[in-house]
Amino acid sequence: MTELVIDRLGHRGDGVVLQPDGRSLFVPYTLAGETVDVDLQGGATRLNRILTPSPDRIEPACRHFGACGGCLLQHVAPAPYADFKRRLVVDALADRGLTADIGETRVVPPHSRRRATFAGIMAGRHPLVGFNERASHRLVGLEECPVVKPQLLAALPALTALTGLVAPRKGGLDLTVTLTAGGLDVSVAGIAARDVDRLRLPLIELAERFDLARLSAGGEAIVERRSAAIDIDGVAVTLPPGGFLQASAEAEAIMGELVTAAIPAKAKRVADLFSGIGTFALRLARQAEVLAIEGEAGAVAALDRAARGMTGRHRITAERRDLARRPLIEKELEKIDAVVFDPPRAGAAEQSLWLARSKVPTVVAVSCNPATLSRDLRTLVDGGYRIETVTPVDQFLWSSHVEVVAVLRRRAD
């Protein structure tokens, strides 16, 4: 047993102890200033007990905290927790030599996740569904979860039956559940195509028995009993099976508010890059014509169908294009008054280079990865843009992840 004092909270949510030789020890579930008793096991550190707790420590919201790997920061009081999320953004920008007006973190409430991916495995002859333990393939069977909407937790009996029906003997399943207007939309990954064909009828019967709106496997809708649609700013959008969706409607609304507020009233044509199913495009169409570009065919088709059915908004042109390989170039950006981009975690390196060469007056960058966002912002700033505001949005409650919305304007000089 070893007694340590925690120096700070690291970017991944662990307490950090700086060693005399310059190396860092990471102690999960600890806070800055705490004195702790740990076991040192090679390169790993196991927390035994907190000897002197931080005044920022609170009682976790969930009985599974510390076993379930889904949450890392339930023990942090609200104010220092929000500051931790903001600090992730501050530090990422500083690593690229950037300073900006970084706002306070906008934090979503508990029970706001409308989409979650559970793991399903066979434990001998018994199906088990839950979340993985931290850094482990072992599952924690859930009795409660203060992160997801109650309807998702109520889906566990259906997911357990589904696991018992289709789970392979080795390995497991990823079971993505989304709460839609029509009910629960369940998508299964990890099942072989031959098994999908063999089990088609039992899968349809399972969806009927548990009243699922839609059940998909391998990207194919096996049965759709009701529309798996969600509301985006008053427009119904039918999700493609297993397609991307912002995990929290509350976070989506916050980001949508920040994005649309940044677009000048005089803007006539806006490009929404990496547009997905129209999270921002459908909102932007209230004020301007929108060119929405996305690489996933299912998302493009979903947005196109939704846009054709909307009324009282400007036109949305939905185009499929791999922006990582074929970004919008300077000439294509000539008639664009504002650009919004929300890329995957890898960021928008190539697109940022072309934006930096363009004369687009306003760019709004949205990202789930402060590190790649800061890289792209550095490119834009070097190309003549000024960072106006940066806002952290805590979509993934009690995790070490943070969404960011940054607004940039091209400098006049």
Number of Cβ within a 10 Å radius of residue 63: 12
292 CB-near residues (< 8 Å, 6+ apart): 271, 272, 275, 278, 281, 300, 303, 316, 317, 318, 319
Nearest to residue 203, comparing CAs of 171, 164, 241, 255? 164
DSSP state string for 92-112:
HHHHTT----B---EEPPTT-
Backbone angles phi, psi at 236, to 5 degrees: -80, 125
Pairwise CA distance, residues 242 & 221, whole Å: 9
273 CB-near residues (< 8 Å, 6+ apart): 293, 323, 328, 339, 340, 341, 342, 343, 348, 351
Residue type at 266 in one-letter notation? K
* Tokens linked to 347: 């960021």
Q: What Å distances lie between residue 247 and 53, 69, 153, 375, CA to CA?
A: 33, 18, 15, 25
Active site residue 71: no
Cα angle 226, 230, 236; round to 5: 90
Residue whose structure tokens are 């950090």: 16
26 appears as a binding residue in the annotation: no
- Whether 348 and 322 have beta carbons less than 8 Å apart is answered as no
274 appears as a binding residue in the annotation: yes
294 appears as a binding residue in the annotation: yes
Choose the catalytic residue: 62, 68, 71, 368: 368
Binding site residue list for S-adenosyl-L-methionine: 246, 274, 294, 342
Query: Active-site residues: which are they?
Result: 368
Binding site residue list: 246, 274, 294, 342
